Each structure stands twice: as structure tokens, then as C-alpha cells.
């Protein structure tokens, strides 16, 4: 995260917080609590190691250290899965970085130019290229 | 020369200070809880939250919030923020716009200059600055009534 970003410009869901619903933001988001629903950020999303996420996430860049129980991660640029994270679900990204000890159970797809953003959870994005399952 | 630098290296005995928290004063509370940045929830400007939000830590809202919010701590609503729905909290400093809904405040509800509120207010203590605008019912509420009103939200947090 940029060091020059104002602290008040970053959305935060702190540890011990439960949020169910929709978030749409033009700013960065950091999640340390529990999130359920749909999240859309034009910038970076950071999911902390204690965070639990369930639902559809659309963001430009994602740093993921937490747990995703189910849902879709749609990352327009780089998806970075950190050591110790656990992801169950559908991953769509342009670029992927996986650290040792990251757990992935699900499908990985590279987003092509023709692919469209899943505007609603019911709209499936087109498959371009499958990289198969990546485990540990 | 290095004797003086050595004296700097001597660890200063750290006192474990117990800061008294007077439940009535917001100022005393905010000084006592030296909260780290990551422990405060924030909804930044340009962000829209829709849904149910339950937390034990403070929250600052500068964006748009629609839904139900429960916070067993302090809520600060910035001047550009808009809020719609029921808010359950212990303390609230309100600078923004409330488009409809209710406040249930366990302790102090502070309406700041320039704020606009359309909705009913239930609180233990009320503070209104000059130029705060509000339309709605005001009613003093006991802690037991608060717990009853917020029961559905505390269930969400306990899940």
C-alpha cells in the first residue's frame, strides 16, 4: 500500500467486526474481520491473516493472507496469495503470485481482453485459459 | 563521552499505568484507548457500504452507509458522510447527513454543527451544537432498552 495514502482514505474492516452486504469503493480496502457479500474496489484490497471472506470480490490488486471459504476473486491485475492463506473458490486474475504454504482449492483462470467483469454473482465470466488446480 | 551514552541505554522502568475511564466522558475514553490504525473500522470517502455491520471497535464513516450498524464503541460520522438506517452504538459524534432511520445510543449522542438528521433519536445523553439541524423524536433510553433494541445486531456479532 502506498505510504503516502492518507489513513482516512483506506477503508478498514477491523478484527472483531462482522460485515454482511455490499461494498463499492474507489479507494483501498483492508479487511481483518469477517466479510460476507460482494466487494468492489478500484484499487487495492488487503486481506489480513485473521480475516475470513465469503463472497465475490472484484479489485484491481489483491494481497491475500486470510481465509476465503467460498466465492470468486476477480483481480484485474495482480493477485498475490501470501504464505498461510487458504482460498476455496474461483480465482480470476491477470497475474498470479503464490507464496510457499499458500493453500488453494479451486479453479484459476487468466483474464483475457475479451472477458467481462462479473457484474452480478449470477453472470459467469468467460473462460480463457485454465491453469488447473494449484495446491500448496 | 560513552559513559553518557551508556546511561541512555539503561532501560527506563515501564510503569503499567491503569488509566481511569469515566464512562460518561467521551474525552476521557478517547485518551484512554490509544487505538492503532488497524483496530478502527473506516468507511472512506467515495465508498458505499450496504448491509449489516457489527463491531466491537470504533468506526469512522466518511462515505455512504446504508443498512444497520452496531458498534459497541465510538462512531464518528464525518461531514461529507451520508447514513441511512438504524445505528446502534455507545457514543456517536455526528457531523454528516442522516437520510432516514434511528439512532440508538447507549451513552452520548453528539450532534455537531452543520449536521442534518432526519430520524428518531434514542439516547442516554444528548449534546447539540449550534447549527445542527434535526427533525425527529428525541427520547431518553435506559441501558436495558438499548440491549433489547440492539439484540438482533449483537446476535450477528456473536455468530
C-alpha to C-alpha distance for A6 and A90, rounded to whole angstroms: 32
* pLDDT at site A25: 92
Answer yes or no: is the ipTM higher than 0.95.
no
Are A38 and A22 a contacting pair, CB within 8 Å? yes
Residues of B in contact with A11 (CB under 8 A): 42-44, 47, 63
Confidence of residue A120 (pLDDT cuts 50, 70, 90): low
Residues of A in contact with B48 (CB under 8 A): 22-25
What is the value of pTM for the model shown? 0.75
CA distance A64 to chain B (A): 16
* pLDDT at site A63: 94
Interface contact flag, A23 B49, Cβ < 8 Å: yes
Are B41 and B59 a contacting pair, CB within 8 Å? yes
CA distance B64 to chain A (A): 10
Are A56 and A74 a contacting pair, CB within 8 Å? yes
C-alpha to C-alpha distance for B97 and A24, rounded to whole angstroms: 19
Listed as own residue / partner, the contacts of A48-55 with beta carbons closer than 8 Å and 24 or more positions apart are A48/A15, A48/B38, A49/A82, A49/A84, A49/A85, A50/A15, A51/A13, A55/A121
CB pairs under 8 A between A and B: 90
Confidence of residue B155 (pLDDT cuts 50, 70, 90): confident
Task: Report the pLDDT averaged over residues A44-57.
Answer: 93
CA distance B100 to chain A (A): 19
A97 vs A114, residue with greater confidence: A97
Mutate to test the interface with A, among B41, B46, B78, B150 (most CBs of A within 10 A): B41
| Short-list B95, B52, B47, CA closest to B71 | B52
All three cell numbers of A117: 467483469
* pLDDT at site A46: 94
Task: Report the pLDDT averaged over residues A70-96.
Answer: 93
Nearest to B42 among A12, A19, A20 (CB): A12
Task: Report the pLDDT averaged over residues A80-97.
Answer: 93
Parse chain A into domains and list their residue ranges. Answer: 7-110
Residue B20, Cβ density class (10 Å: 0-12 exposed, 13-18 middle, ≥19 buried): exposed
C-alpha to C-alpha distance for B13 and B19, rounded to whole angstroms: 18
CA distance A19 to chain B (A): 4
Residue A61, Cβ density class (10 Å: 0-12 exposed, 13-18 middle, ≥19 buried): buried
* pLDDT at site B21: 39
pLDDT, chain B, mean: 80
Interface contact flag, A11 B157, Cβ < 8 Å: no
Q: What is the pLDDT of residues A13-40, one digit of tens each?
A: 999 899 999 999 999 999 999 999 999 9
CA distance A104 to chain B (A): 26
C-alpha to C-alpha distance for A85 and B137, rounded to whole angstroms: 48
Interface contact flag, B38 A8, Cβ < 8 Å: no
C-alpha to C-alpha distance for A127 and B14, rounded to whole angstroms: 59
Q: What is the pLDDT of residues B8-32, one digit of tens each?
A: 444 444 444 443 433 333 433 443 4
- Helix (H/G/I), strand (E/B), else coil: B55: strand
Interface contact flag, B44 A9, Cβ < 8 Å: yes
Interface contact flag, A25 B47, Cβ < 8 Å: yes
Query: DSSP readout, B25-42?
Result: -HHHHHHH----GGGSEE
Q: Which residue of A has its CA nearest to B60?
A: A8
Q: What is the pLDDT of residues B112-154, one digit of tens each?
A: 999 999 999 999 999 999 999 999 999 999 888 888 888 888 8
Amino acid at each position: 500500500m502506498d505510504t503516502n495514502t492518507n489513513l482516512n482514505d483506506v477503508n478498514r474492516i477491523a478484527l472483531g467486526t462482522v460485515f454482511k452486504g455490499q461494498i463499492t469503493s474507489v479507494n483501498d480496502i483492508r479487511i481483518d474481520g469477517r466479510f460476507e457479500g460482494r466487494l468492489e474496489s478500484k484499487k487495492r484490497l488487503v486481506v489480513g491473516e485473521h480475516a475470513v471472506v465469503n463472497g465475490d470480490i472484484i479489485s484491481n490488486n489483491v494481497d491475500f493472507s486470510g481465509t476465503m471459504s467460498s466465492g470468486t476473486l476477480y483481480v484485474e491485475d495482480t493477485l498475490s496469495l501470501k504464505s498461510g492463506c487458504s482460498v476455496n473458490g474461483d480465482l480470476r486474475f491477470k497475474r498470479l503470485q503464490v507464496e510457499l504454504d499458500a493453500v488453494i482449492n479451486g479453479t484459476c483462470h487468466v483474464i483475457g481482453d475479451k472477458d467481462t467483469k462479473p457484474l452480478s454473482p449470477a453472470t459467469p465470466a468467460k473462460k480463457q485459459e485454465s491453469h488447473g488446480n494449484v495446491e500448496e | 563521552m560513552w559513559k553518557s551514552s551508556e546511561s541512555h541505554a539503561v532501560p527506563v522502568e515501564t510503569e503499567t499505568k491503569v488509566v481511569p475511564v469515566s464512562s460518561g466522558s467521551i474525552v476521557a475514553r478517547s485518551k484512554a484507548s490509544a487505538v492503532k490504525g488497524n483496530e478502527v473500522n473506516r468507511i472512506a470517502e467515495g465508498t458505499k457500504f450496504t448491509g449489516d455491520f457489527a463491531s466491537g471497535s470504533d468506526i469512522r464513516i466518511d462515505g455512504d452507509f446504508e443498512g444497520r450498524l452496531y458498534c459497541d464503541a465510538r462512531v464518528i460520522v464525518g461531514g461529507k458522510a451520508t447514513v441511512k438506517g438504524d445505528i446502534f452504538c455507545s457514543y456517536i459524534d455526528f457531523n454528516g447527513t442522516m437520510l432516514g432511520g434511528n439512532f440508538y445510543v447507549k451513552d452520548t449522542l453528539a450532534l455537531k454543527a452543520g449536521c442534518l438528521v432526519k430520524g428518531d433519536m434514542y439516547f442516554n445523553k444528548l449534546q447539540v451544537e449550534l447549527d445542527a439541524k434535526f427533525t425527529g423524536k428525541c427520547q431518553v433510553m435506559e441501558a436495558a432498552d438499548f440491549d433489547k433494541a440492539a439484540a438482533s445486531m449483537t446476535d450477528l456479532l456473536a455468530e
